[in-house]
Structure 1
Amino acid sequence: MTAKLYNPFQDFKFDNKTCFLSGSPLQSLDEQMQVFPLWMMRSFDLEEKPFKMLDENMVTYKSLKLPCSPRVADLFAVLEQDIERAMTSGYEAVRNLSEIQLFQWVAKILYGVVFNEIQSGIRQAFISGEDLNFSQALVHKFRNLHYMLQSIMQPMEFEHKNPFSICVLPVDNAPDTFSYRDEINTLVFSFRMRDFAILATLQDNGVHAIYHEDVMNAIVGRVLHPIQFEEICARYFYSAYLFNRLPEYTYMETPECIFVEPMPLNDWTLKPIFDHWQVKTYGQVLENFWKPWGYTLFEIIKDPELPMTFILDRHGEFITDIHLAKV
C-alpha cells in the first residue's frame, strides 16, 4: 500500500478531535501532547510562564498542546527520550544526535506553535463573524513543514540534500540558562541551555549556511560566549527575512518510502536569492538579540561600514577576550 501524506490545510482541519499529524479521529479530547516537552518545562519552571502569541495575547507554555493519537504520541515519546538524554548531558551528546532527530524535535515545537496560532485565529474569526485571512505563502510553508514532520511516522528520504540546516554549537552559558526564540513566518528557531545552543533554519535547502559561510567557518572549534551566539542568531534571523524564495518540493509516495526532492532555488527572474542587506535594519535586529547586554542601535551602527561585532576583530581574527557578565 502506498504511503500517503496527510494535509490538514486542504480542508483547514485544526480541531481537537483529529490527530494533528496523522489525521486519524481521536477517541477523547484528553488525547493530547504538550508542544514544549515536559522535561524542559519542569527543568526551567516554564509551565506557568507566559508565552506571547502573534496577536499579542499571552498564554502559558503548558497550555500549548496538540491533539494526538496514542500511536503518534508514542513515536514522539521515543524521540523525546533520546533528546532529553542528550540535552541533559550536554554539547557532545547533542552534537551526536542525527540531524533528522533534531529536525523532528524542532519541527514538532514550531508546528505546535503554528497549530495553536491557527486555532486561535479560527476562534477569533468565528467571534468576529469574519473569514479567516491566511497567507497562501504561509500555508505553503506550513504544509511542507507538516509533510516533513510526518517522517517520524513513515519512511521518508530527502534526496540530494536536507531541506533544512541545523547547527549545534558549544556555548559558555550560565548553568540556569534557558533561551528560546522562533520566527514562524520564516521558520527559524534558536535554543540555548547548559553548554550548547541550537540554530535551525527550515526550508532553506541549506543556503543560509552558505550565505554566512565566513562567520561559520571562523567559529569552527570555538566555544562561543552567549553574546557571540546571539549575534549569529541575529544574522540568521535577519537573512531569513531577506530570503526571497518560496521553496518547492516534490513528494513521491511509494509503498516503501516517501521521496522528497527540493526544486532548484534559482528561477527565471535571475533575482538574487537574498534581498539587499541593510545595516540599519540588521542593527535593529541585533539590538533586540543583545537586550541582555544593553547595547543600543546607536552604538551598534555608529560606524555603518563596520557595525559592532563580538565575533571577528578588524583583522578577521576570532575574538576570544570578551569581558561581559554571562546570561
Structure 2
Amino acid sequence: MAEMLFNPFKDLIFDEHFCFLTGDLTNENMSVFPEWLMDHFNLGNERIEMMDKTKSYKYADLKLPCSARVKDAFEELDTKILAAYNKGYEGMASLDEEQLFQWTGRIVYGLLYYEMVYERNRLQKKDEEFALSMPLRKRFGHFHLMLQSLVEPISFVGKKPWTITVFPLKYSADILSFRDDTINLMFSFGVNGFGFIACLQDNGVIGEKHSEILSKIKGHVLHPVQFEELYASFHYTDYILKQDPQYKVESHDNGINIEIEKTEKPPVFDFWDEDMYAQLLANYWQVYGIEREDILRPQKPRLSFLEDPYTKDFINPESIKLPF
C-alpha cells in the first residue's frame, strides 16, 4: 500500500491540479497558513520571503491544491487546534503530538512546496533541469508520507520520528512569533501564553540531546529571549547532526506502519562551533539589540539567558529585565 501512495518527490510533481497530499486531480485549494491564524493577526497582506530572499509572497496568496477530503481533514484539525489555542498553554499541551505534527507539517510542507515551485520555474526560464539530490528526495518523501497520516491509515510504531516540545511562554495573545527551516523541517511558534518547537524528522534525537535543559524548564513560564535561545540551540544542533534517518515502512491489511530503523550506532554530531552558533543566536536576538560581540565576550563564558554559565542553574525568567 505504501508504494501506492502519492510521493511528489519521486517525479518532482508540484502541479496546481494535483492534490499536494494525495495526488488526486482537483481544482480546489487550501491556504498554507490556517485562515483563522491569518485573520487573527492580519497576516493576509503581509509578505513572506523565500529562502534566497529574491522572491516573496503575500501570506494570503500561498495556496495548496487539495482534494475535498484533504481540505475537510485539515479543517477538522484546525478546529481542534483553535480550541486548544484559545486555552493557551494548557490547551496546546493537551494535544496529541501527532496532531501538532500534522498541523505544523501542513505549514512547513506548504512553504517547502512553494520553494520547489519557485526553484523549478526559475530553472525552466534558464532552460535548466530542476533536480533534487537523492538524500533530499528521500527525506522529503518520508516527511510527506508521514503527513499523509492525516487522511490515510498510517501508524507510528515505537519511538516517534520527531521532537515536539510545548512550554508556557510570556507572550500575549496579540503577539505572534514563528520561524521555519523548510530544508531541515523545523518550526517554532510562540503566541498566547505558549510556545512550541518542532523538529519534524530528527527521530527524537535533538529532544534527547536537550533533555537536561528541557527538564530544568518544567514549571517555568519562559521569557521570549529564552524561547529564542532554546530554538537557536535546537536549530544549530540539527545543523551539526550527521544522521541519515532510516525507516521501516510496512503495509498490512489495516494500513501502513512506520518505524524508525534500529541501529547500534549512536547519533553523531559535528564539532560545536561557538562562532557559528553565536552568529545564529545573534540573528534571533537582534530584536533585543544583542549582537554577536555581546554573546562571545573576551575572557567570559558565552552569554545565556537559559543557564548560569558557572553553576548551570536555570535562570529564573522573572529575573530577566528585557521587554517581552
TM-score range, shorter chain: over 0.9
Distance 1:322 1:125, change over 3 A: same
| Distance in 1 of aligned mates of 2:10 and 2:311 | 54
| Distance in 2 of aligned mates of 1:292 and 1:137 | 35
SS at match of 2:323: coil
Which of residues 300, 310, 316 in structure 1 aligns to 2:312? 316
1:194-223 C-alpha deviation (Å, 9 max, x unpaired): 100010011111111111122111111111
Distance 1:67 1:324, change over 3 A: same
Q: CA deviation at 1:80?
A: 0.5
SS at match of 1:311: coil
Which of residues 125, 128, 133 in structure 2 aligns to 1:130? 128
Query: What pairs with 1:213-252 in structure 2 (closer than 5 Å)?
Result: 213-252=211-250
1:255-275 C-alpha deviation (Å, 9 max, x unpaired): 2021001113555xx8x5111
Which of residues 107, 118, 121 in structure 2 aligns to 1:120? 118
Opposite residue 22 of structure 2, the aligned amino acid is: S
SS at match of 1:92: helix
Which of residues 76, 81, 84 in structure 2 aligns to 1:83? 81
Paired position in structure 2 for 1:280: 275
Whether 2:306 is the aligned partner of 1:306: answer no
| Distance in 2 of aligned mates of 1:279 and 1:256 | 49
| Distance in 1 of aligned mates of 2:148 and 2:268 | 28
Opposite residue 130 of structure 1, the aligned amino acid is: E
SS at match of 1:179: strand
CA contact (8 A) 1:279 1:304 kept: no
Paired position in structure 1 for 2:30: 33
CA contact (8 A) 2:242 2:269 kept: yes
Distance 1:69 1:195, change over 3 A: same
Distance 1:206 1:304, change over 3 A: farther
Paired position in structure 2 for 1:184: 182
Q: CA deviation at 1:116?
A: 1.1
Structure 1, unpaired ranges of 5+: none
| Distance in 2 of aligned mates of 1:323 and 1:174 | 17
Whether 2:143 is the aligned partner of 1:168: answer no
Structure 2, unpaired ranges of 5+: none
| Distance in 2 of aligned mates of 1:273 and 1:141 | 18
CA contact (8 A) 1:3 1:256 kept: no
RMSD between aligned residues: 1.6
CA contact (8 A) 2:32 2:62 kept: yes
Q: CA deviation at 1:305?
A: 6.6
CA contact (8 A) 2:10 2:141 kept: no
CA contact (8 A) 2:78 2:103 kept: yes
**Percent identity of paired positions between Structure 1 and Structure 2:** 37
Q: CA deviation at 1:174?
A: 3.5
Paired position in structure 1 for 2:254: 256
Opposite residue 36 of structure 1, the aligned amino acid is: F
SS at match of 1:166: strand
Distance 1:218 1:2, change over 3 A: closer
Q: Which deviates more, 230-239 or 58-67?
A: 58-67
Q: CA deviation at 1:7?
A: 1.1
Which of residues 46, 50, 53 in structure 2 aligns to 1:53? 50
TM-score normalised according to structure 1 size: 0.94
Q: CA deviation at 1:89?
A: 2.2
Whether 2:287 is the aligned partner of 1:289: answer no
CA contact (8 A) 1:18 1:24 kept: yes
SS at match of 1:168: strand
CA contact (8 A) 1:250 1:261 kept: yes
| Distance in 2 of aligned mates of 1:240 and 1:63 | 30
| Distance in 2 of aligned mates of 1:2 and 1:150 | 11
Opposite residue 184 of structure 2, the aligned amino acid is: T
Aligned length: 320
| Distance in 2 of aligned mates of 1:59 and 1:2 | 34
TM-score normalised according to structure 2 size: 0.95
Opposite residue 227 of structure 2, the aligned amino acid is: F
Q: Moved runs in structure 1, 4+ residues, more than 6 A? A: none
1:18-77 C-alpha deviation (Å, 9 max, x unpaired): 111111111x2xx00100000000111101101000231111111111100011100111
Distance 1:248 1:80, change over 3 A: same
Paired position in structure 2 for 1:156: 154
Q: CA deviation at 1:2?
A: 8.2
Q: Which deviates more, 192-201 or 207-216?
A: 207-216
